[in-house]
């Protein structure tokens, strides 16, 4: 009699857990517990919690966009403070998340050399939000509640600029508030070329573009 060997299903591309009915205290405890162990993205909003482990494509996209921002500010002499994927949370607002990347630009001098605390300090001026995997929780209302003024959303190979409006919602804009001298369309063109060569050659081309006046 022949035996049939069971075939295990393929591992998912990323881990995704959605949990309703979670208290803010439980969310805070989990953030503290895993802080130094594993890079997970935890989103919390009014009792809903979502835990995701980013994919390689997600991490590569956020890293490349981050490198472009850093080259832009370096070449243009714009002060910058990077905060990476710092957890930003507020118990009174009952929400929290980690941006993919975030930066202080306009308010860099106010927070330079300090550990940022919301309600005391302004939130980062610029956020990079990479939307490759599907989330259950909409993160934009959380960013809005916490007062983040600008989001660069990477979706379908494009970068969409969202600016926070006075009514607490984001609106799509053609121009960045943090880096108004930059053509987002040209930035996307350079980003699309990242697969044509190695990253060192690619970022050198980006630097040359910036130093030559971004023409």
Q: Which of 9-23, 67-81, 117-131, 170-184 has the lowest mean pLDDT?
A: 9-23
Q: pLDDT band at residue 7, thresholds of 50, 70 and 90?
A: very low
56-211 maps to CATH 3.90.1570:
yes
What does the domain layout of the chain look like in residue ranges?
A: 56-211
Q: What pLDDT is stored for residue 38 in this prediction?
A: 61
**So what's the pLDDT on residue 6?**
40
pLDDT at 103: 98
pLDDT at 166 over 50: yes
User: How high is the pLDDT of residue 10?
Assistant: 41
* For range 129-145, the mean pLDDT: 93
Are the beta carbons of 141 and 84 closer than 8 angstroms? no
**pLDDT, average across residues 138-163:** 97
**pLDDT value for 1:** 41
Instruction: Check whether 138 has a pLDDT greater than 90.
Output: yes
Look at residue 152 and tell me whether its pLDDT is greater than 70.
Answer: yes
Coarse DSSP helix, strand, coil percentages of the chain, rounded to the nearest 5 percent:
30, 25, 45
Could you tell me what percent of the chain has a pLDDT over 90?
84
Looking from the CA of 197 toward its CB, the CA atoms found within 13 Å total 11
pLDDT at 8 over 60: no
Task: Please give the Cα distance from 105 to 9 (Å, whole number).
Answer: 46
In which residue are the tokens 């919602």 written? Answer: 169
Taking a C-beta distance cutoff of 8 angstroms, is the pair 81, 156 a contact?
no
Reply yes or no on whether the pLDDT at 133 is more than 90: no
Predicted pLDDT of residue 15: 75
What is the residue-averaged pLDDT of the chain? 91
Question: Would the pLDDT of 110 be above 90?
Answer: yes
Q: Which of 212, 193, 213 is nearest to 203 (CA)?
A: 193
What is the distance, to the nearest Å, from the Cα of residue 124 to the centroid of all Cα atoms in its chain? Answer: 11
- pLDDT class for 11, splitting at 50, 70, 90? very low
Q: Give the global pTM.
A: 0.91
Segment 33-54 mean pLDDT = 87
């Amino acid at each position: 009699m022949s035996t049939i060997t069971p075939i295990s299903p393929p591992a998912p591309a990323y881990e995704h857990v959605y949990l309703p009915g979670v208290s803010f205290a439980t969310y805070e405890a989990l953030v503290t517990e895993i802080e130094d162990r594993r890079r997970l993205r935890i989103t919390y909003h009014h009792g809903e919690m979502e835990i995701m482990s980013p994919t390689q494509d997600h991490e590569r996209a956020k890293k490349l966009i981050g490198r472009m921002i850093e080259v832009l500010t370096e070449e243009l002499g714009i002060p910058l403070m990077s905060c990476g994927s710092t957890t930003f949370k507020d118990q009174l607002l009952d929400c929290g998340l980690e941006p993919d990347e975030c930066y202080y630009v306009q308010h860099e001098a106010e927070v330079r050399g300090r550990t940022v605390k919301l309600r005391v300090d302004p939130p980062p001026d610029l956020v990079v939000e990479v939307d490759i995997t599907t989330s259950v929780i909409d993160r934009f209302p959380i960013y809005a509640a916490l007062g983040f003024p600008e989001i660069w959303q990477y979706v379908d190979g494009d970068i969409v600029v969202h600016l926070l409006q006075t009514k607490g919602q984001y609106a799509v804009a053609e121009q960045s508030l943090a880096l108004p001298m930059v053509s987002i369309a040209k930035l996307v063109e350079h980003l699309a070329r990242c697969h044509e060569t190695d990253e060192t050659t690619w970022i050198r081309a980006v630097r040359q573009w910036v130093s030559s006046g971004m023409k």
